[in-house]
Amino acid sequence: MRVPPHPDPTSARRPGDRSQIPPPVSPAPLQRPGGKDTAMGSLGRKSSGDMTGRFLHVFILAGLLAAAVGGEASPGGAGVLGEVGDQDDRVMVCYFGSWAVYRPGAGRFDVEDIDTDICTHLIYGFAGLKADTHEIVSLDPYNDLDVNYGKGAFKRFTGLKKLNPDLKTLLAIGGWNEGSSKYSQMAATEDSRAKFITSCVLFLQKFGFDGLDLDWEYPTLRGGKPEDKLNFALLLDEMRSRFDKQGLMLTAAVSAGEATIDAAYNVSALVRNLDFVHLMAYDLHGTWEQYAHHHSPLYAYAGDKGGNLKLNVDYAVQYWLKLGVPETKLVLGIGLYGRCFTLARADQHDVYSPSYQPGLPGPYTRSPGMQGFNEICESEGREAWTVVRDTHMVSPFAYRERQWCGYDDVQSVETKASYIVSLGLAGAMVWSIETDDFHGNCHAGPFPLITTIRTVLRDGKPIPTPTPPPTPTPTPEPETTTDTTTTTTPSPPPPSTVCHREGFNTDPKDCTAFYSCHQVGDHWQVYHFQCAPGTVFVEDLQTCDFAQDHQDLCVNNSYSYHHQNPNSIDYDYEVDQNRLNKVPKAKKTDFLEKMKRFEKKLKEISEAAFLDTTQASVKTRTVEIPAKDDASKRSQHRQAKKLRMMKKKSNKNGPEGLY
């Protein structure tokens, strides 16, 4: 059995964190969200008028557009879009960051904690892409799959439809932490695209998903190629053809940054192939900047100028509509989290106040610079925070001493939902359900943000929204784009021996950890991950494996009982199952007992001690690529490893071991 490493891509989806941690204009990242843009432009305005007439107008327009592009209605997706005038058909899309199951205390959130009545569509984040075969894979096999004593979250997730037969469940692939280069390679040829599509169809059918949500962040960027824009369009055309035959939905999470949009997307291909376009209208500002600003303002702040005039929800929505995405397919994303800053001075706490450090992490998500709404509202209940609500931004920010967080609350999401109704958009998307106040600790009931959004969408009665501020003539500024991640924190450059190849590399100082190295231009982007409990990283296998089967790799062969959060590496669960069946029963029992003792130990640890052992488990750094190491030394090192493994296998008696 290969056990995944457990970093926490929390925070916001880089769907920016879907990556969750997501990031600039995109969210996990995915996510889970995207890149910042500073080009010039004008703010769009929503139209007004009788709502009944507008909905009828949208209905007719949608039909004409569908006929014009030749798109076919796919089950559960485009077939609903033509009737967006009926408020019951507005979608409420909820992303689920599956790594929330590893969060401590009251922040822990599993599949069974999902309320199946408040969302119309649930999206599981995330699956990944196997680089060498171009196939979709699980990123956390222990949690996702039900083989090798796994928890089977995939099937439990799709099984939620038993509680609500109208519910649609989709699987998201990608996110910020997955990068772009693997997807660029997959989309480059017709053959590799066909392999990917076939694997997706089989994977979705195997686990009972209704469709796939593409979260490639982003075509042509972050290690991608200029050809990605065309290749992504071809991929969508080919996926739509196959998915229609199987009755599967196809959606995508897209950036809110103008420069990213222009570089990455063939909009007509998105329109004719996607059931919904999920606009990640959050992470527009963050700790990659040297000042505090709200990451998801509805309209521009009065003090915005230059490129920042484009970094707001309304501008992103109007830009996508201008490019030709019909209202009936555009789903507005709302972040259920805040971006937090540590201010340079406690007496300067307005927007644009200097800040050179991320805000303190919350007790559940534990990501500097980001806190879930559940963490923010609980903190406001315990401590004296000053809450400020700007007329134009709509969404509030709060400060206490040198801590500053911009977020959405019940009042602001109500206004954003009303904005959706006023424009006749397809509905709302949230990243992510597990950072809402799902216990109802701060409100009269659980999930107050999602419930508020859904109520406004269902009632179809827009409340008054603020008039956007006048748009001053933008001051030209040099365009800059800064890559960041929602789930990681900066650290000093690693030694030149860390990255000797693209992909996963051994940590020479810790056999239970490894580096994930991605070449971006003339730099390495490096992430440091920890293997799951009781495992070590085996570079020849490119995965974490049982420590007891690789005793020669560690000087000290003790089990490392750390609790990490999920991430992914390539995993062949069918091969593992066959090999595990050959292992003596006593060996399996011993492993299961160790895991039970580990989980029991976790429950006994106090929250404070727990946080001390898990803080900052994932780090990223960007360093210049060093000169090539001596090729012969690297070759000798790899050969020595293989010889040790061959010798170990030849000395085994009885049934073959796991590896």
Q: Phi and psi (nearest 5°) for 279?
A: -85, 115
217 catalytic? Reply is yes
409: left (phi over 0), alpha (psi -120 to 50) or beta: beta
* Other beta carbons less than 10 A from residue 289's beta carbon: 18
Handedness of CA 360, 364, 367, 370 (dihedral sign): negative
Distance between CA atoms of residues 222 and 525, nearest Å:
10
CA 141 to chain centre: 17
How far apart (Å, rounded) are the C-alpha atoms in residues 569 and 140? 8
Evaluate whether 177 touches 14 at the Cβ level (below 8 Å): yes
Burial of residue 250 (CB within 10 Å: 0-12, 13-18, 19+) is: buried
Residues in a beta bridge with 95 = 123
3-state secondary structure at position 252 = strand
Q: Residue 111, SS3?
A: helix
CA dist., res. 555 & res. 511, Å (int)? 9
**Would you tell me the crossing angle of helices 313-322 and 410-423 to the nearest 10 degrees?**
20
Q: Which residues, at least 6 apart from 628, have a Cβ–Cβ distance to it below 8 Å?
A: none
372 — phi, psi (to 5°)? Answer: -70, 160
CA separation for the pair 80, 75 (Å, rounded): 8
- φ, ψ of residue 91 to 5 degrees: the values are -90, 150
* Of 348, 383, 391, the residue nearest 362 (C-alpha): 383
In angstroms, what is the C-alpha Rg of the chain? 24
3-state per-residue secondary structure call for 218-248 = CCCCCCCCCCHHHHHHHHHHHHHHHHHHHCC
Backbone angles phi, psi at 544, to 5 degrees: -90, 140
Packing angle of the helix pair 448-459, 410-423 (nearest 10 deg): 30
State the greatest distance between any 2 C-alpha atoms of the chain, in Å, as a whole number: 81
What three-state secondary structure class fits 530? strand
Number of H helices, E strands in the chain: 17, 22
Which secondary structure element, helix H or strand E, spans residue 513, and what is its range? Answer: strand 513-520
Beta-bridge partners for 122: 94, 169
Rounded to 5 degrees, what angle do the CA atoms 482, 565, 100 make? 90
Task: Report residue 526: phi and psi, to 5°.
Answer: -120, 130
135, 178, 217, 289: the catalytic one is: 217
Distances in Å between the alpha carbon of 381 and those of 134, 366, 454? 48, 19, 25
Q: Is 90 exposed, middle or buried (0-12, 13-18, 19+ CB in 10 A)?
A: buried
Token reading at 586: 């006593």
> How many CA atoms lie less than 13 Å away from 159 in the CB half-sphere?
7
- Phi, psi for residue 254 in degrees, rounded to 5: -125, 160
Bridge partners (DSSP) of residue 545 are 536
Active centre residues (catalytic): 217
